[in-house]
Amino acid sequence: MNREIARERAKELVAKMTLEEKASQLRFDAPAIPRLNVPAYNWWNEGLHGVARAGVATSFPQAIGMAATFDKELLGEVGNVISVEGRAKYNAYAAEEDRDIYKGLTFWSPNVNIFRDPRWGRGHETYGEDPYLTGELGEAFVKGLQGDGEYMKAAACAKHFAVHSGPEALRHSFDAVANDKDLWETYLPAFEKLVKKADVEAVMGAYNRTNGEPCCGSKALMEDILRGQWEFQGHYVSDCWAVRDFHTNHMVTATAEESAALALKTGCDVNCGNTYLHMMSAYEQGLVTEEDITIAAERLFTTRYLLGLFDETEYDKIGFDKIECKEHLELADKATAEGVVLLKNNGLLPLKKDEIKSIGVIGPNANSRVALIGNYHGTSSRYITVLEGIQDAVNEDTRVYFSEGCHLFRDKVEHLGWRQDRVSEAVAVAKNSDVVVLCVGLDETLEGEEGDTGNSYASGDKVDLLLPEVQRELIEAVMKVGKPIIVLNMTGSAMDLRFEQEHADAIMQVWYPGARGGKIIADMLFGEISPSGKLPITFYNDTADLPDFEDYSMKGRTYKYLTTTPLYPFGYGLSYGDADITAVEVNGQAVAAGAKVAYADDMKVCVEVTNKSNMALGEVVQVYIKDNDSAFAPTNGKLCGFARVNMKAGETVKVCVPVDEAAFTVVNDAGNRLKDGKSFTVSVGFGQADARTKELTGKEAIVFTVEG
């Protein structure tokens, strides 16, 4: 439906409401208005990596794992599956007059905050540390979720606007201070892309203040930028109970009425929380006008009309059989497979089934369902842990030994046991195995959102980059046995894996791989699939490489401003095979390493990739650019284009990568984007052109210069 038509219908309907009725519709749990045939509607739903918190749904890898695919098409397909299953659930629940939380069509996803610091517990909800990658994947996800039909299939929400990435413990009172350059170069671009290019229907404000103003009541963010410069037409929602923080933590207002008034008048249309229960009192005190309330109500009903909630739509026939259907589960498997990142392999992988008589599977995440699913997850009708995947994959006569090894973080598994009461079992398993798969890491009880985790001492954040002490002790004890060891790290963030890098035979970063992810990981271990994921974040050596967690300056952060050598660079990832870039063309002209190319407004890099292996491979062609002239250029090159390539054994595939239109620009200290250079270094490869990537991969990117 055309937005103008939806807006007119919304105005018509809202005009029939009393002031009290209009005010009631600004709550996330909007009540019914029976006399106008308006059913109750709950705005709060989640769809970060599958429909969440409303029963069974297809479970995709956590967002950071999907970011590691560098696959825009995949993210679009995932968004579409979420909207299809969301519609199937909505149709079924609405038929029963069930209007409960998590059962509407307004999904508060994706999270396009920048994962600027690996200590942030919610970083795994994001698409990583790079604004360009985040914007590209976020745009694809939003378009897939909202669809291109006559009506909007589901409404996406870009969150959390803006400059938000921890610390979780301070978020209710924290002022994230960002200078204009960092604001416009790093923190805002993904939001801008989702508003301008993806027509995202909703934006959610963050808990914190940004440069002194609470994000859900910020004139600079909401009025000047979002609705002013970007001409955002959708609705704005507060993070949950964030408006209450105005007077209880930020202390920018004195009462709930003042907080409700500030949020509403700045453009916050729907309140997740209870502060808008004071809206009529705010009106009676003269803090808001009826027009303020009316404008917000009209925006919200415009969205409901766009979704077709008062009409018959092409989505009304989507049936319950679409939930966890075969096609959706296959897409989840594909997402898992494309997102696993092989960090090290000394030749041990892939394992040869016929040569292994016994395999030891050890670690607190080996048989953990919680480690599969991340946070903001739905329920799966079946879970396949790493242990179960391996048990199903091995030959009939292969013995699979298992030991939990240790608790995820406590010093014992059994309450009455000695400290580290499972380590001796783990050592015995290792001694009796030909090869060991060591499954370590975290889960949503240790890294996640404040209040949702068991990690109360850090509110979901990490205090450092180390695995819990009990896991480090387990790893050392098992490695002393001397058997070949594969480490599977199941986390949503970068960890200090220096010991593992030095001592393990192979390491995989498997993230939180989805409810059935254990099957795909087992298939990968045995060579049915080659790893092809790339890191969407930098793996630092330790926190000594990082500025203070509370410092929002980008200096020294992420691959663009890093001055130290990382453990594993952004964009890095190995495979089982060998592929080469055998030809590069820029705007139809063949380009060799060291060449000089004339600048053109629309630059397209076309690459021939040859698979020199005897197995199918996936790779990600990555294009980086560095402005050689401007003082405002980032310290290192920046990602400006990427494309996933899938090749059969021996196959050569040509792929073209349009270079981002902003690639040749920089952001100055005033926050203005401009072209400020005439010489640019461009690299094309399967990762960055840095020394560490070359050291780890043995491959060099093709580097040339663009001038003009």
Gyration radius from the chain CA atoms: 26
> Would residue 447 show up in a list of annotated catalytic residues for this protein?
yes
* Non-local CB neighbours of 272 within 8 Å, separated by 6+ positions: 28, 43, 44, 237, 238, 239, 240, 241, 242
Catalytic residue, from 21, 324, 447, 500: name it: 447
Distance CA 171, CA 550 (A): 10
| Residues 139 and 189 sit within 8 Å (Cβ to Cβ) | no
Nearest to 662 by CA among 224, 180, 189: 189
Phi–psi pair at 679, nearest 5 degrees: -130, 130
Dmax of the chain from CA atoms?
A: 79
Other Cβ atoms within 10 Å of 330 Cβ, number: 11
Count how many Cα atoms sit within 13 Å of the Cα of residue 153 in the half-sphere of its side chain.
23
CA-CA distance, 381 to 43, in Å (whole number)?
Answer: 26
Q: For 485-549, what is the HEC assignment?
A: EEEEEECCCCCCCHHHHHHCCEEEECCCCCCCHHHHHHHHHCCCCCCCCCCCCCECCCHHHCCCC
Angle between helices 326-339 and 72-95 (to 10 degrees): 140
Residue 380 φ then ψ, to 5°: -100, 150
Contact 644, 656 (CB under 8 A): no
Contact 208, 249 (CB under 8 A): no
The identity of residue 414, as a single letter, is E
Strand ranges in 346-466 using DSSP code E only, listed in sequence order: 358-362, 399-403, 435-441
Which of 239, 443, 505, 619 is catalytic? The answer is: 239
- Omega prior to 189 cis, within 30 of 0: no
Q: Measured on CA atoms in the order 461, 467, 471, 473, is the torsion positive or negative? A: negative
Half-sphere exposure of 39 (CA within 13 A, CB side): 17
Stated as kind and residue range, the H or E segment containing 472 is helix 469-479
491: amino acid identity, one letter: T
168 noted as active-site residue = no
How many Cβ atoms sit within 10 Å of the Cβ of residue 473? 17
Query: How far is residue 216's CA from residue 206's CA, in Å, rounded to a whole number?
Result: 7
| DSSP H stretches of helix in 15-159 | 19-24, 63-67, 72-95, 131-146
Report the alpha-carbon distance of residue 75 to residue 63 in Å, rounded: 10
Distance between CA 467 and CA 687 in Å, rounded? 26
CA distances in angstroms from 385 to 329, 365, 382, 444, listed in the order given: 16, 8, 10, 16
Residue partners of 325: CB distance under 8 A and separation at least 6: none
Give the residue numbers marked as catalytic.
239, 447
